[in-house]
A and B are shown apart, each in its own frame.
Chain A
Amino acid sequence: MKILVPVKRVIDYNVKPRVKADGTGVDLSNVKMSMNPFDEIAVEEAIRLKEKGVASEIVAVSIGPAKAQETLRTALAMGADRAILIQTDDEVEPLGVAKLLAKVADEEAPGLVILGKQAIDDDSNQTGQMLAALLGWGQGTFASKVEVDGDTVNVTREVDGGLETVALNTPAIVTTDLRLNEPRYASLPNIMKAKSKPLATKAPADYGVDVAPRLKTLSVAEPPKRVAGAKVADVDELVAKLKALGVVA
């Protein structure tokens, strides 16, 4: 089966985001950008399924600016076979992304689409579920284990109370949680090889999808700041503080 892996270019998780002084958004100029960490986990899972002989081809897709090519090259260097960039400088919301991905899925007919559970910039946690709805497929979200068994995929999910397993008919949607795997680093030879792997560039208009945003960001502000309190010298002082707070008698 073919596996489709949508990957998003986002602020690197090690960078502390700074709100722009004019309140229009987060300052991304001269900030390190990387593949969304959950999407690295998605790429890794697809590669492992290919190594097991379950998957035959891995196609990485990104919707974003020309620079998202770098993110796709990273996916190719990890082991994806080819890539599609749907290039736009406009911000595309999860609903628009899901609509574009649904068109790509129509064309590519994958057995699985593996996405991240959440993009660490918008923190929406929506795209995979929306894509599943648009395609009318089953969804195994927040996955910590994925097992393909013929026409069924068993997905163990991280839920509020612990873990839950669902069986889905394929084709299906999976979204990754942190414990699914530990993504590999691309080796230097593979980074070189990735440069010659196919990367097709498209535009949202090629898919005839209206991706105009439904949410308008009116302003972006910093959260209220917490100020550091005092340090206590020892455990006795801490006990006294806990008493003052009323949490111990």
Chain B
Amino acid sequence: MKTLVWVEHDGGAIKDATLSAVTAAAKLGEVHLLVAGKGVGGVAEAAAKIAGVGKVHVADDAAFDHALAENVAPLVVELMGSHDAFVAPATSNAKNIAPRVAALLDVMQISDILSIESADTFTRPTYAGNAIATVQSSDAKKVITVRTTAFDKAARDGGSGTVEAVASTGDKGLSRFVGAEISKSERPELTSAKVIVSGGRALQNGENFKTIIEPLADKLGAAVGASRAAVDAGYVPNDYQVGQTGKIVAPEVYIAIGISGAIQHLAGMKDSKTIIAINKDEDAPIFQIADIGLVADLFKAVPELTGKI
């Protein structure tokens, strides 16, 4: 089977999510990559070095800048003439593009796979991860998004793929990129951090995130996450949300501070290796899945903790 993997990049660097998708694709067969964007020659060179990669298809055109689904999907469909599976990490770009590809190919996408049981059978989470379904696809071509926390990352080097330019399928003129407000941070990215410190509604405001959560995160070299309640209340930006409908994370250590542990939040972090919870309510549901729990007022305990490490 020939797979085509969506390379998630920011114009310069390849995102870790791509590496997990490569590992998944390698279980299906030959791994080809697709690098789309404007001025992405360097990205393609780097992509060719990823371990196990055969060919890198590069589509260098302004039409693919910002990964507009309306323009990228026809490009993928074109390439799927000679591939059997489109495999993408479940990033916001790929979640936008892949179903558009699937519908154009008349296949049913398999979202967020956790494992590959055979060439046509996969497991995937449903109901906020409370039910794991094993599904078999009858479609000739597969369109798959990959839960990146469920697959190891392929090595960034060791590969010797060939780079091949593909003709642009052009700008379909349906949509236009207007602008972006991208959060800038020196901290590690949420989805690839080894340690995450997350805050919930109990933080009360954005200022407390800065003075209580961030210093602890800085000491631990951790990324900062949040519950939906903290995001909705405007304490932190939307891209901090961990959960069923936010980011899925599985760090070595996840520290949940002032988060109750609703199923929608657990869905995004319960595969973390070690879960630590700090909550003043000893009956908070988060303690049912925490490996280490501290029943305490976060406004006292967290500064004390930060001071002692």
Contacts and interface: CB of A to CB of B under 8 A. Distances in A.
B49 interface: no
Interface residues of A, number: 83
A25 to B, nearest CB: 8
A226 B250 CA distance: 14
Interface stretch (B23-31, B152-160, B205-213, B287-295): B287-295
A135 to B, nearest CB: 10
B125 interface: yes
B36 to A, nearest CB: 16
A239 interface: yes
Interface in A120-165: 120-134, 136-142, 144, 154, 157-165
Contact of A213 (B97, B108, B288): B108
Interface stretch (B38-46, B56-64, B109-117): B109-117
Interface stretch (A93-101, A105-113, A184-192, A194-202): A93-101
A57 B277 CA distance: 48
B109 A229 contact: no
Contact of B125 (A93, A123, A160): A123
A129 B101 CA distance: 9
B263 interface: yes
Contacts of A126: 99, 102, 109, 111
Given A142-B92, A247-B252, A248-B309, A158 B238 contact: yes
Interface string A217-249: 111111100101111101110110110010110
A123 B175 contact: no
A207 interface: no
Nearest to B264: A13
B231 to A, nearest CB: 7
B287 A98 contact: no
A7 B237 CA distance: 28
- Greatest chain B CB density within 10 A among A16, A126, A140, A216 is at A126
A166 B177 contact: yes
A244 to B, nearest CB: 10
Interface string B270-309: 1000111000001000011111111110000100110011
Contacts of B100: 129-130, 132-133, 139
B292 A238 contact: yes
Contacts of B92: 142, 157-160
A234 B301 CA distance: 8
Q: What's the dominant secondary structure at chain A's contact region?
A: mixed
B309 A19 contact: no
Contacts of A133: 73, 99-104
Q: What's the dominant secondary structure at chain B's contact region?
A: mixed
A19 B130 contact: yes
Contacts of B174: 136-138, 168-169, 172
A125 B101 CA distance: 13
Contacts, number: 260
B121 A164 contact: no
A160 B290 CA distance: 26
A93 B111 CA distance: 12
Interface of B: 10, 66, 68-70, 73, 91-93, 95-104, 106-112, 121, 125-139, 173-183, 191, 194-195, 219-220, 228, 231-232, 237-239, 241, 244-245, 247, 252-253, 263-264, 270, 274-276, 282, 287-296, 301, 304-305, 308-309
CB-CB nearest 10 A-B residue pairs: A129-B99, A229-B291, A130-B103, A214-B108, A133-B103, A126-B99, A138-B174, A17-B127, A165-B178, A138-B175
Given A160-B92, A223-B130, A242-B309, 12 more contacts: A11-B127, A121-B127, A132-B69, A133-B100, A161-B10, A162-B182, A168-B176, A217-B133, A219-B133, A231-B282, A231-B295, A234-B294
Interface of A: 11, 13, 16-19, 25-26, 38, 93-95, 98, 117-118, 120-134, 136-142, 144, 154, 157-169, 172, 177-179, 213-223, 226, 228-232, 234-236, 238-239, 241-242, 245, 247-248
23 contacts: A17-B130, A17-B131, A19-B130, A95-B103, A123-B111, A123-B126, A123-B244, A125-B95, A133-B104, A139-B70, A159-B93, A162-B181, A164-B179, A167-B175, A168-B174, A214-B138, A223-B131, A226-B275, A226-B288, A229-B290, A230-B292, A231-B294, A242-B253
